[in-house]
Structure 1
Amino acid sequence: MVNERPGQSGGPSRPAPAGWPRASGSSISASPAAPRGLRPGLGLGKGSGGLGKGKGLGKANLKRHTKIRKDNIYGVTKGDIRRLARRGGVKRISATIYDDVRLALRERLARILKDCCAIVDSSGRKTVSVTDIVFTLRRLGNPIYGFEPHFLNNR
C-alpha cells in the first residue's frame, strides 16, 4: 500500500537500527503479534507504554485522571462553620473549633440517616422522603418547624 508506514503489522519491514539485536536471537520479536512498544524501529514516543505507573512507584508517576480521595466532611468549610456560628450569635471563634464542629456534624448526620434508613427499610421503600426526615427529627427531640400540619395528616 502506498499510505502505509513501513514497520507496521502487515507492511514491509525495515531493518533494525544498529543498536538493536536481531529478532531471531533475542527475546524481543518483530512479529506482528508482538506489542507495538516492543517492536524495534517504531517512533512511538513517551506515551507508548499506555496509562499506568511510570518508572517509580510513587503517586507522582501516575498518569492523568487520578482522583485524590479525601474525607467529604471537609466540604463543610471554615466559612460555612463561621456563618452557622454567626447565625447562632457567636462573636469570636477559636481556631481549634472547626474540626470539633465537623465531628459533631458528622455524628448527628449519621444518627439521623441511620434512623431514616430504618424507617425506609421497614416500610419497604427505597427512597427517603421529607416525611421520613421530619418523623426522625421529631423522634430525636429536635422537630423541624413548618412541616407539622402536612406531616400529621399523612400519619
Structure 2
Amino acid sequence: MEAPLKLGKKKNYTSKYLPKRYRKNCRDNIMGITNTALLVAKPAIRRLARRGGVVRMQKAIYSTVREIIVSRLETILEQVVQLLESTDTPAKARKTVTTPDVSSSIALLG
C-alpha cells in the first residue's frame, strides 16, 4: 500500500487536503446585463440576441433591452414573493425559492 503524496510544507498535509489554486469567480449575471456602467452588458445582450437568431443590432437597442429585462425580472420576482407569502401562515412562510416556484410564476405570466 502506497503512502499518500506529501506536497505541502506542513506536517500531514497531503494532496487531498491542499487548498485549490484557482477559485471560481462568482459573477452577478443580472448586473452584467442591466448595469450600464459595466462593459459586460453589451456582449451579454448580444449573446442573448444571437441565441434568438438576430444577426445585427442598432446601438440604441441595448438600453431598451436592459429596461425590458429589468421590468420582466421585477414582475417575475414579485410573483414569486407573492407565491411564497401565500403558501402558509406568516409564522410558517417559506423563505427558500425553488425552481418550481419560478417556473410557475413564469407560466402565469405567459
Q: Is it true that 1:138 corresponds to 2:107 in the alignment?
A: yes
For 1:133 and 1:139, locate their aligned partners in 2 and report how far apart those are by CA, in whole Å. Answer: 10
1:101 CA displacement: 0.4
Identity %: 41
Q: How does 1:19-30 map to 2 (within 5 A)?
A: none
For residues 14-51 of structure 1, give each alpha carbon's deviation from its aligned partner in whole angstroms, at most 9, with x where no partner exists: xxxxxxxxxxxxxxxxxxxxxxxxxxxxxxxxxxxxxx
1:128 CA displacement: 1.0
Q: Residue type of the partner of 2:45?
A: I
TM-score (norm 2): 0.60
1:104 CA displacement: 0.1
**Consecutive unaligned residues in structure 1, runs of 5 or more:** 1-71, 142-155
Cα RMSD over matched residues? 1.3
1:114 to 59, 75, 78: 78
For 2:80 and 2:43, locate their aligned partners in 1 and report how far apart those are by CA, in whole Å. Answer: 29
Match in the other structure for 2:64: 100
Matched length: 70
Structure 1 stretches of 4+ moved >3 Å: none
> SS at the partner of 1:131?
helix
For 2:71 and 2:64, locate their aligned partners in 1 and report how far apart those are by CA, in whole Å. Answer: 11
TM-score (norm 1): 0.43
For 1:81 and 1:135, locate their aligned partners in 2 and report how far apart those are by CA, in whole Å. Answer: 25
**Consecutive unaligned residues in structure 2, runs of 5 or more:** 1-30, 88-92
Match in the other structure for 1:90: 54
Looking at both structures, which has the greater relative contact order when contacts are Cα pairs under 8 Å and sequence separation is at least 6?
A: 2
For 2:100 and 2:44, locate their aligned partners in 1 and report how far apart those are by CA, in whole Å. Answer: 27
For 1:136 and 1:126, locate their aligned partners in 2 and report how far apart those are by CA, in whole Å. Answer: 16
1:92 CA displacement: 0.8
Higher Cα Rg: structure 1 or 2?
A: 1
1:112 CA displacement: 0.3
For 2:65 and 2:83, locate their aligned partners in 1 and report how far apart those are by CA, in whole Å. Answer: 27
